[in-house]
Amino acid sequence: MPEIAPLDMNKISRLIDLAIEEDYGQGDPTSELTVEPGVKSHTRLVAREPLVVCGMDVVREVLKRYDESLELIVVSQDAASISRGDVIAEIYGPLRQMLSAERVALNFLQRLSGVATKTAQYVKEVQGTKAKILDTRKTTPGWRELEKYAVRCGGGMNHRYNLGDGVMLKDNHFAHMGAKHKDELEEFAKKAHQHGGLKFVCIEVDDIETQLPIVLSAAGVDIILLDNMTCPQLRQAVKMRDENPGHKPLLEASGGITLATLRDVAETGVDRISIGAVTHSAVSIDIGLDK
């Protein structure tokens, strides 16, 4: 398994604070009334359905916020595929604080494992093709660092982290320039590559007859986004790119692609497929805190 870029815990510290504040802001009288101070216990985080694990560092940080002595022993590391009934981790320490922390810890773990699991389904579907699965910026507000990490745990790749990460000239921008303005596209790409911190220049195309030849002829374009195209159109775009002398940008399919149509899209020969559903349509996975 390739090395996965880790979470930036500094970026999610405030989110953890907010989650704890909304759940524990007035304390936990139920646990306080039923569990004597100092009682120690041992519980397990158990998968109640097949899943890809994601979020163990977040769970550890949540537990630490409730009590520094709560110890998390990870059994199944992030990105591990496990079965129903498998133990993800064990928790040792004060029972009262353990029970108070349960819901917040599980909310993070279930959501992130849901994104990782859904991503893994898409990644598995394109195995044997050259296509890579990418996420989009369609993330839960405040959760982008977490959800993009979960995509990586599921075997997917990250697209732009934010608007400043890369330049994407979409159809509205392209129409503003004018369909025949190759010079403007090249000037745009040149300026973009001189802009500090940008990782790529991407141009969105929704017409392979009029727009694609212009973009293929424009120097400096790294990625061409093929928006809402049929499989025959995608195959034609791949053929045009492969036959283009010299300049061969990556081709990315996007728009309206489902798990049912994904394999057909991948087999057209595109390099990348961006899927917003891996984040915006992922469902939280069932995980339990058991004795």
pLDDT of residue 1: 58
pLDDT of residue 173: 65
Q: What is the pTM of this model?
A: 0.94
Q: Which residue has the tokens 């728009």?
A: 255
**Catalytic residue check, 191:** no
> What distance in Å separates the CA atoms of residue 231 and residue 239, rounded to the nearest whole number?
12
Q: Which of 229, 236, 276, 232 minimizes the C-alpha distance to 253?
A: 229
- What lies within 8 Å, CB to CB, of 188 at 6+ separation is 167, 169, 177, 201
pLDDT averaged per 10 residues in sequence order, the chain, 291 residues: 87 97 96 94 97 98 97 98 98 97 98 98 98 97 97 97 89 61 81 84 90 89 94 97 90 95 98 97 96 82
Whether 132 has a binding-site annotation, put simply, is no
Say which of 60, 138, 182, 263 is annotated catalytic: 138
Q: In the CATH hierarchy, which fold is given to the domain comprising 125-280?
A: TIM Barrel (3.20.20)
Segments making up each domain of the chain, as ranges: 9-117+283-290, 125-280
Torsional class of 97: left (φ above 0), alpha (ψ -120 to 50), beta (otherwise): alpha
Q: In the CATH hierarchy, which fold is given to the domain comprising 9-117+283-290?
A: Aldehyde Oxidoreductase; domain 3 (3.90.1170)
Cβ–Cβ under 8 Å, residues 265 and 253: yes
Q: Which of 234, 244, 222, 214 minimizes the C-alpha distance to 168?
A: 222
pLDDT of residue 54: 98
Say which of 103, 124, 235, 263 is annotated catalytic: 103
**Catalytic residue check, 204:** yes
Whether 220 has a binding-site annotation, put simply, is no
Whether 275 has a binding-site annotation, put simply, is yes
Whether 85 has a binding-site annotation, put simply, is no
Say which of 28, 61, 147, 204 is annotated catalytic: 204
**Catalytic residue check, 206:** no
**Catalytic residue check, 103:** yes
Whether 16 has a binding-site annotation, put simply, is no
Per the structure block, which two tokens stand in for 229? Answer: 């195209």
Say which of 227, 235, 263, 286 is annotated catalytic: 227
Whether 160 has a binding-site annotation, put simply, is yes
